[in-house]
A and B are shown apart, each in its own frame.
Chain A
Amino acid sequence: MHTAETLNTKEPSTGIHPTRFLLMLMIVSIFMIFAAYTSAYIVRRNEGNWLEFDLPAGFLITSLIIVLSSVTVQWAWFAARKDELNQVRLALALTLTFGVAFLVGQWLLWGQLVDSRIFFGGTDSNPSGSFLYVLTGVHGFHLITGLIFLLVVLRKSFKYQVHSRQMLSIGNVTIYWHFLGALWLYLYLFLLLNH
């Protein structure tokens, strides 16, 4: 990979490293998946035969957890800028923990939904419930990819590959993680408003 070294003989463009640009485009494509689901949700809801139910209150707690994880990942980024490597590791580990806690929380909430007879599929299911599972499930899947990315960067930080002169990977994971958090907040808000 010789992209970095050739960049200075290139036509000036966005000033963003190609890898970061790739990440941003992938974020756009992930967003399009959810744009499709949320607009399908609205279209479908307006057609009637739509089971209304209350969102479990627990989603507020998982939302708070994911906001916290965004704070810690940003902390990791600032720490890396100041070469505080121990803080970077601590903050990344905290972010990972919050990320896992969020996923566990979502899983428990699924259980709670099933207990209140909101099913994903089967004879008693209604698209309103199925959509909720799809939105949280597909988001959860992307969160798992985010956790893997965090693990990779955490491993790099232990190999002294994350510091003020090597900000690319931690910058990328910060962007991706903020995106996943913001995406969840969008979905939560969307569900609150359309319920």
Chain B
Amino acid sequence: MKHMLKLFLLLPLFWAVPAHAIDVMDVVKKANHMSYYQANDGRAKVNMRIIDAQGRTRVREFIILRRDDDDTDTGQRFYVYFNKPADVKKMVFMVIKNMDRGDDRWLYLPALDLVKRIAASDERTSFVGSNFYYEDVSGRGINEDTHTLVKEDDNYYIIKSIPKDPQAVEFASYKSWIHKSTFLPIKTEYYDAAGEKLRSYSALKVDMVDGYPTVTASSMEDHKTGGKTLMNYSAVKYNVGLPENIFTERYLRKAPRKYLR
């Protein structure tokens, strides 16, 4: 009886909260899943156009293979096979994303038949000279920031994130617009301590691929330099059935053609 009473007292409190109230970590987890962990594996051809403030354009083209270790949205393997520019053609960049320690990275240089283990670099430096950082491509740990739901409207959850270790990153905070029904991040803006915009990410196009809503065009703008990078995905495929051993020295030296076509 006493318990019942307590329950009645609490009820109005629940009603005061909107019916679709959602835990911010839940949104962040789902957004992280949608951005980096859909299906067990995936394959895409990526075209990057890096445009500087003077309008000069550089092009990168590569095929990316991704395989998740399990369903926990943690460990992953990436195999990146370059087609353009010509001087890096057939070069391979491979990453094993570990949760308990830094990532393992390799570079394969075909002209020398050299498998080079490379030191994990600062995650917040340019990926292949673009305005995207390594972390933008492979994902930022969801526990590295403190997230707050600042607003929501018809389409988006708007989340502000503050790094737990501000020394480790170039930004003071960032804000993400997470699409409500798909949980895809549609826009992310990074700010410095003065609140000035540093960089902003935009999803430009979303397609349904193999049943998975997928961002197939996006951009990253650098507001300090005036440069930006446009990224286009084509030939996207999920649940390719990539064997785990694709991500080994064997396939660095002998590209797995079947999965790169």
Q: Do A and B come from one complex?
A: no
